[in-house]
Structure 1
Amino acid sequence: MAVPTSYQDFTETLTSATPPTDWPDALKAMWLAATDNWEASHDIAQDMFNETGSWIHAYLHRVEGDKFNAGYWYRKAGKPFPNISLEQELQEITTNLLER
């Protein structure tokens, strides 16, 4: 399956059993996060040694409710701790990935 071109296209894939295997890891991690598979998403994010991986990692710890750990990862990502909902941040990260 081709990489979606919009967030709406991305959300339409969430009914599948798994994310497409040919997607970039970051997008797979966000798909897993969007389908409440925190552990699998975290496994991908913690193996991404860049700002994108840190941003996803931060978001996941925010989902978990661990503000201290999330704060560390937001700093590693060069991002401020967000004042938006988790749903808005999921869309923001995913849209950022799709626009690359």
Structure 2
Amino acid sequence: MHRQAIGLIENGDWEGAHNLVQDESDTLSCLLHAYLHRDEGDIGNAGYWYRRAGESFPDNSLSEELERLKSML
């Protein structure tokens, strides 16, 4: 499911990726959810999902963050 969500992100399908992770509570799903909200500019919601994942808001670009998330697969 995580690989599929990342593939959807890479193909520009924000809604499809969001639908895959929105009801999940594992760490990587929360981080992907945070990434998606960060990508859409909803920083408050992104921060919430980073906190749910036990992380602080990252100080990196979206492309760097996606690479970090891919490395967690």
* TM-score after normalising by structure 1: 0.70
Name 1:74's counterpart in structure 2.
50
- In the TM superposition, residue 47 of structure 1 has moved relative to its aligned partner by 2.4
Superposed CA RMSD in Å reads 0.8
Give aligned pairs, total.
Answer: 73
Runs of 4+ residues over 6 Å off in structure 1: none
- Pick the structure with greater CA Rg: 1
Unaligned runs of 5+ in 2: none
Task: Give 1:1-100 correspondences, 5 Å limit.
Answer: 25-97=1-73
Cα distance in structure 1, aligned partners of 2:19 and 2:33: 9
Structure 1's unaligned 5+ residue stretches are 1-24
